[in-house]
Amino acid sequence: MQFIHVGLMQVRIQTLHRHDEGTMALVVFRDTRWSGDRSIFATMEIDLACGRQMIYVVPDTMMTVTDFARNIQISIQTRGYSTWQNGEANLLITRGLVGRLSNTPNVAFAYEIGNVTDYLASQGVQAIAGRKYSSQEHKVSTRAFQSIPI
């Protein structure tokens, strides 16, 4: 298998201490083949007051298995642990993935994910639509070409 279609990524963060301690976590899903903001699939800041949080990201992207293994990262930065002492661990992090492996790059899932954000929001999940970048800045103006008589 040479290619993977990444349909859904998830992270579950469980605190290993009392609830309501004023702790937070910033979770960033990244593709390090890009630099700057384009490398970010999703960013979510979560309040760990209830003890656990689940984050879902729907990148709907195709890449080689090697690129996936080398470049897809989940980064977590915590806040509120400045006075945490003598603990072996403060968080339990569980990762999950729904993907499809293939020998050809033209596979996809049979379902549409275009309105997933709207559906999750209607079910009480706080979801943020992904950022889209325009290719407009890369288009070549047709005025730049001159017709040459043959």
Q: Quick one: pLDDT at residue 110?
A: 62
Cα 51 to chain centroid distance, Å, stands at 22
Q: Quick one: pLDDT at residue 42?
A: 87
Q: Quick one: pLDDT at residue 126?
A: 64
Which residue ranges of the chain lie beneath pLDDT 70?
A: 107-114, 116-117, 123-130, 138-150
Within 13 Å of residue 100, how many CA atoms lie on the same side as its CB?
A: 15
d(CA 78, CA 16): 14
Q: Does the pTM exceed 0.95?
A: no
d(CA 29, CA 44): 9
Q: Quick one: pLDDT at residue 72?
A: 95
Q: Quick one: pLDDT at residue 117?
A: 67
